[in-house]
Structure 1
Amino acid sequence: MTKNFLKDYVLITIGILFVAIAVEYLYAPNNLAAGGVTGLAIVINHYVPFASTGILVLVMNLILFVIAFIFIGGNFGAKTIYASFGLSLIMWIIEKFFNPQAITKDLIIAAIFGTFLSAIGMAIVFNTNASTGGTDIIAKILNKFFHVDIGKSLSSVDFIVTLLAAITFGLNAGLYALLSVILNGIAIDRVIEGFNTSKQVTIISRKNKDIGQFIMNELGRGCTFLRGVGGYTGKDTFIIYTVVGRTEFIKLREYIKGIDSKAFITVGEAHEVLGEGFKEIGNM
């Protein structure tokens, strides 16, 4: 059992805990059915109050996984199965032992902070190359049998759930649920970008060899030397190209400032980096 394997499952557990808290303390008590299987469970719970939201999510995920194995194969992976049923279990534990109550009755605050917590949790799960099942399975079934794009399928399922929420809880709650769905998709993308963001750095300096050695030996990162010609001086020069983490860039900047105050540095954001020293391409 590798270190990365354990790390992924710890991160998934943290992620689904965030999602469960958002559902149990912000969404469900305020009847905000913000899409997906959890949103559908909130709607069904209104009509079948003796069945808790956590149990309903578990039952629906079991049914969906069975359908998926029969009709589209079992290409979901152990991490997705763990995340899916782990979320149901955590929700059940919260409902059974902690008697969850709404943190706030203000729908706009519940929608914003519920989306914030849920997006962080989902982003953590997605970043381990897993998902919480549910909606993804429905989307893949629609894609296979009705040839609807996965993205459109996901949006369609969430829209149907929020429509059911509007019918069940009223237009006001339905619109807030739709707002949560829209914000959630945007927020997840932004959080994932934040997890994976690195600094893409190019450096022109008379101390290029020293800087290259610092990058490789002190920061443990690779770098590439590109041949260039100064436009003003006409002299041959080397341009150093490297990608480093945010804290590593601070160290690199301070080092360069200390040995060559006239160095020229450009810095850009790299939202995802694949390869040695970063996320392995084979794990994608």
Structure 2
Amino acid sequence: MPTQLGAKPTVRDNVIQMAIAIFGIFLFAFGVNVFIVPAGFYNGGFVGISQLIRTILTDFLGFHFGNTDVAGIIHFIFNIPLFFLAYSIGRRFFVRTVICVGLQTLFLTIIKAPATPVLDEPLAACFIGGIIVGVGTGITLRAGASGGGNDILGVYFTRKNKNFSVGKITLMVNMVVYVGCAFLFDIRVVIYSIIYAAIVSFATDKTHLQNINTEVMIFSKDKAEEIRNAILTGLGRGSTCWTGYGGYTGEQTTVIYAVVSKYELISLKKKVQTIDEHAFVVSKENISVEGNYSKRL
């Protein structure tokens, strides 16, 4: 939920964003424990590594933890060193991430996995579980937080290199998990887990709108300078302006061109409408950008 362009987030805005992030964390834990764990598949990333360690401890080394699923606790321990990386991204991101990782640990522990699979068809469990987990992850990232682990790595490297995305980083980290699965389990578990991971990656990138670069062209007859300033001061983005004229009316107009994320576009459209209700806005998603363009959380 974007704030008004150029406005400092209020306490209410921060509370709403945090609530959205927590909802995303809940969706993640629900999808994993209700659809993936009962089917015998493994999550990707650091959660998957935590699940593998739990399985080794319980099934191979004979440790018993009662009815408590220690995968969430192991996941929290893994995230402690990554919190320093989250802090380098931003203090607000750091605080929200610590809260979300703590709640994710809680949700993964208290949401009990059914004794038998909810769906008889394994592929259906992969698709439904993958969509729920991916959307949950994307919602959390979109709210300016993360569930830790590969989400932190994904956001960090996305800011460092324009060719990265959270979904791509997740897919890379997942390979570590599935190599481990290949040694411990049969190939069926590995194949279905990889299908599930691909769906999670796709759903995450589609929900995490900051990953989607969008070009926007704004046509305004007499409010172009105000719109240009709104883009500069509100989004911290540059723009290119030139003068044109209407093919039908012959009247002079100013064209403003900018590249923003799809997330930023939501606020920009609202602000343009406020400044000039007669402005004409054209946008195009999923463009490739080279050069000095800043990808943001």
Shared fold, TM over 0.5: yes
Relative to structure 1, the CA distance from residue 88 to residue 202 in structure 2 (aligned partners, 3 Å threshold; closer, same or farther) is same
8 Å Cα contact 1:225-1:238 kept in structure 2: no
Q: Distance in 2 between matches of 1:135 and 1:244?
A: 27
Gapped regions of structure 1 (runs ≥ 5): 141-148, 211-220, 257-263, 273-280
8 Å Cα contact 1:16-1:121 kept in structure 2: yes
Q: Distance in 1 between matches of 2:254 and 2:105?
A: 53
Equivalent residue for 2:30, pick from 17, 21, 26: 21
Q: Which moved more, 1:27-36 or 1:50-59?
A: 50-59
Match of 1:217 in 2: none
2:94 is aligned with 1:85: no
Q: Distance in 2 between matches of 1:57 and 1:9?
A: 21
Q: Distance in 2 between matches of 1:194 and 1:6?
A: 20
Q: Distance in 2 between matches of 1:69 and 1:244?
A: 30
8 Å Cα contact 2:215-2:285 kept in structure 1: yes
Give matches, 1:114-153, under 5 Å: 114-136=129-151
Q: Which moved more, 1:103-112 or 1:52-61?
A: 52-61
Q: Distance in 2 between matches of 1:196 and 1:69?
A: 26
Structure number having the greater helix percentage? 1
Q: Distance in 2 between matches of 1:231 and 1:68?
A: 56
Gapped regions of structure 2 (runs ≥ 5): 1-9, 156-163, 224-233, 235-239, 258-264, 288-293
**What is the identity, as a one-letter code, of the residue corresponding to 2:75?**
M
Aligned to 1:130, the other structure's residue is in SS state: coil
Identity %: 17
Q: Distance in 1 between matches of 2:270 and 2:170?
A: 38
Match of 1:214 in 2: none
String of CA shifts for 1:137-164, please: whole Å, max 9, x gaps. 6889xxxxxxxx9988754431111122
Match of 2:230 in 1: none
String of CA shifts for 1:179-229, please: whole Å, max 9, x gaps. 22223222211122399898946458xxx569xxxxxxxxxx9xx996324
Aligned to 1:228, the other structure's residue is in SS state: strand
Bigger radius of gyration, 1 or 2? Answer: 1
Q: Distance in 1 between matches of 2:199 and 2:107?
A: 24
Q: Distance in 2 between matches of 1:114 and 1:80?
A: 23
Aligned to 1:103, the other structure's residue is in SS state: coil
Q: Distance in 2 between matches of 1:209 and 1:139?
A: 42
**RMSD (Å) for aligned C-alpha atoms:** 4.7
**What is the identity, as a one-letter code, of the residue corresponding to 1:80?**
T
Equivalent residue for 2:185, pick from 155, 166, 169: 169
More relative contact order in 1 or in 2 (CA 8 Å, sep 6+)?
Answer: 2
Relative to structure 1, the CA distance from residue 201 to residue 5 in structure 2 (aligned partners, 3 Å threshold; closer, same or farther) is same
**What is the identity, as a one-letter code, of the residue corresponding to 2:145?**
A
Aligned to 2:120, the other structure's residue is in SS state: coil
